[in-house]
């Protein structure tokens, strides 16, 4: 049984496995420019963030109906639950769908159907094929595409208004360099006024200044990636002092070449520095592993021992948006402390 954990950096569109992509393509009559799943997997060799994003957006063409989004989230939650995920805060990219004529409501309501089903405990043998499984509590975080305009982000927030009872927060993703956080000041102010939590990708490929700007201008409570903060000791000191969580994604960093190899990842030094680090899978269908695989990889390659792994699991629940359910957070944290590493 894997250590209980929360996943806080997960793009639901990045959980689209080649097999499901082809199944949805067939169901929806969409032509994919790949002969089969093997040929598609061959395309998963990325030079950088942009080369990944090109494929990530291309494959979304197969997602058209509520049922497609439901099936996508259902497949992710099944995999996550099997790898010890108790709580998942799930990003989605509305503009990547609305731009293709798929309505905001189709995306949110489709995802919600799966989230609702997984939100209650499940242990029946019939459902789980004999395996003991558990429910997964979830939150939805709507991301703005930073390579689109600030006006488009504002229109997206507006389109989300009928669905805000389903949405916990806003985030910022897509191509980072050249699109500093400050571009989105206004939409983050509007989101805060609506009671939404705020996170943003910063310091993945972009400089440490983008992390500072996300904190100062956008008022984010957590930083997604934040990897390049290590280049700025004053920023590290601030993140430590203010207990700002970082949602690191080590396997993503290797695949998108933010680090040369996993062995070069600064996670151990970041933990030693006192940063509130979490590890997450980002886009697991593309980057070679889900949450449990990621824990295993950092254990095996970075030599993290049981107490460091427990710290990562504990941090994931401390950093989760569970402020409206502290009883649940306490239960999850107690599970982490009671866990015996094999
Ligand atoms: O890793 C990522 N970075 C930025 N945008 C993204 N959209 C999906 N995954 C990512
Ligand atoms: Zn991401």
pLDDT tens, residue by residue, 308-340: 999 999 999 999 999 999 999 999 999 999 999
Give the H or E element holding residue 225: strand 222-225
Q: Which ligand is closest to the CA of 247, given by its number? A: 2
Determine if residue 282 is labeled as part of a ligand binding site. yes
Counting from 1 in the atom list of ligand 1, the atom nearest the Cα of 143 is 7
Q: Residue 9 C-alpha to ligand 2 middle, in angstroms?
A: 6
**Binding residue per annotation — 225?**
no
Residue 7: per-residue pLDDT: 98
Q: Which residues are CB-contacts of 157 (< 8 A; sequence separation ≥ 6)? A: 144, 170, 187, 190, 191, 194
**Per CATH, domain 5-321 is 3.20.20.140:** yes
pLDDT band, very low/low/confident/very high, at 125 (cuts 50, 70, 90): very low
Q: Which ligand is nearest to the CA of 287?
A: 1
Q: Which of 227, 183, 184, 185 is nearest to 206 (CA)?
A: 227
CA Rg value for the chain: 19
Whole-Å CA distances, 219 to 114, 187, 249, 316: 31, 12, 22, 20
Summarize pLDDT for 253-278 with one digit per residue, the tens. Answer: 999 999 999 999 999 999 999 999 99
Q: Per the annotation, does 201 bind a ligand?
A: yes
Burial label for 241, CB within 10 Å (0-12, 13-18, 19+), is exposed
Q: State the pLDDT at residue 134.
A: 87
Residue ranges around ligand 1 (CB below 6 Å): 11, 14, 49, 56, 173-174, 201, 204, 252, 282-283
Mean residue pLDDT across the chain: 96
Within a 10 A sphere around the Cβ of 185, how many other Cβ atoms? 14
Mean pLDDT of 233-239: 99
For residue 297 the two structure tokens come to: 């990889």
CA distance 223 to 143: 13
> Region 46-55: what's the mean pLDDT?
97
The residues assigned a catalytic role are 204
130: left (phi over 0), alpha (psi -120 to 50) or beta: left
Q: How far apart are the first and last CA of the chain?
A: 9
- Note the pLDDT of residue 87: 98
DSSP state of 282: B
Name every residue whose Cβ is closer than 8 Å to that of residue 308 and which is 6 or more positions away in sequence: 268, 271
Q: How far is CA 28 from CA 63, 67, 68, 71, 248, in A?
A: 8, 11, 9, 13, 35
Sequence spans of domains, the chain: 5-321
Question: Among the atoms of ligand 1, which is closest to the Cα of residue 176?
Answer: 4
Q: What percent of the chain has pLDDT over 70?
A: 96
Q: What is the pLDDT of residues 189-215, one digit of tens each?
A: 999 999 999 999 999 999 999 999 999
Please report the pLDDT score of residue 177 as a whole number.
98
According to DSSP, residue 181 is labeled G
pLDDT above 60 for 179: yes
Neighbours of ion ligand 2 (CB under 5 A): 282
pLDDT digits (tens, 9 = 90+) for 24-47: 999 999 999 999 999 999 999 999
> Ligand 2 mean position to 129 CA, how many Å?
32
């Amino acid at each position: 049984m894997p250590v209980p954990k929360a996943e806080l950096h997960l793009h639901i569109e990045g959980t689209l496995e080649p097999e499901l992509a082809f199944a949805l393509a067939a169901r929806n009559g969409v032509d994919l420019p790949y002969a089969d799943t093997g040929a598609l997997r061959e395309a998963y060799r990325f030079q950088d963030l942009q080369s990944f994003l090109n494929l990530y957006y291309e494959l979304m063409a197969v997602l058209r109906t509520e049922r497609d989004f439901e099936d996508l989230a259902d497949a992710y939650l099944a995999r996550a639950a099997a790898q010890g995920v108790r709580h998942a805060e799930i990003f989605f990219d509305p503009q990547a769908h609305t731009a293709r004529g798929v309505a905001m409501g189709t995306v949110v309501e489709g995802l919600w159907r799966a989230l609702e089903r997984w939100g209650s405990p499940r242990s029946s043998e019939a459902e789980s094929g004999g395996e003991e499984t558990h429910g997964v509590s979830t939150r939805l975080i709507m991301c703005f595409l930073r390579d689109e305009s600030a006006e488009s982000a504002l229109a997206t927030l507006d389109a989300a208004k009928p669905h805000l009872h389903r949405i916990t927060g806003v985030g910022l993703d897509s191509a980072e360099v050249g699109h500093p956080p400050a571009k989105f000041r206004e939409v983050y102010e509007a989101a805060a006024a609506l009671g939404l939590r705020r996170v943003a990708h910063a310091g993945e490929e972009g400089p440490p200044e983008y992390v500072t700007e996300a904190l100062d201008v956008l008022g984010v409570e957590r930083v997604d990636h934040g990897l390049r903060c290590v280049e700025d000791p004053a920023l590290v000191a601030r993140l430590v002092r203010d207990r700002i969580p970082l949602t690191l994604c080590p396997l993503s960093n290797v695949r998108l070449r933010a680090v040369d190899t996993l062995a070069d990842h600064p996670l151990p030094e970041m933990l030693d520095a006192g940063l509130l680090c979490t590890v997450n899978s980002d886009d697991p269908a593309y980057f070679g592993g889900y949450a449990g695989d990621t824990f295993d990889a950092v254990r095996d390659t970075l030599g993290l021992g049981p107490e460091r792994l427990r710290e990562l699991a504990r941090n994931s629940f401390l950093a989760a948006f569970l402020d409206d359910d502290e009883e649940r957070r306490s239960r999850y944290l107690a599970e982490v402390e009671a866990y015996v590493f094999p």
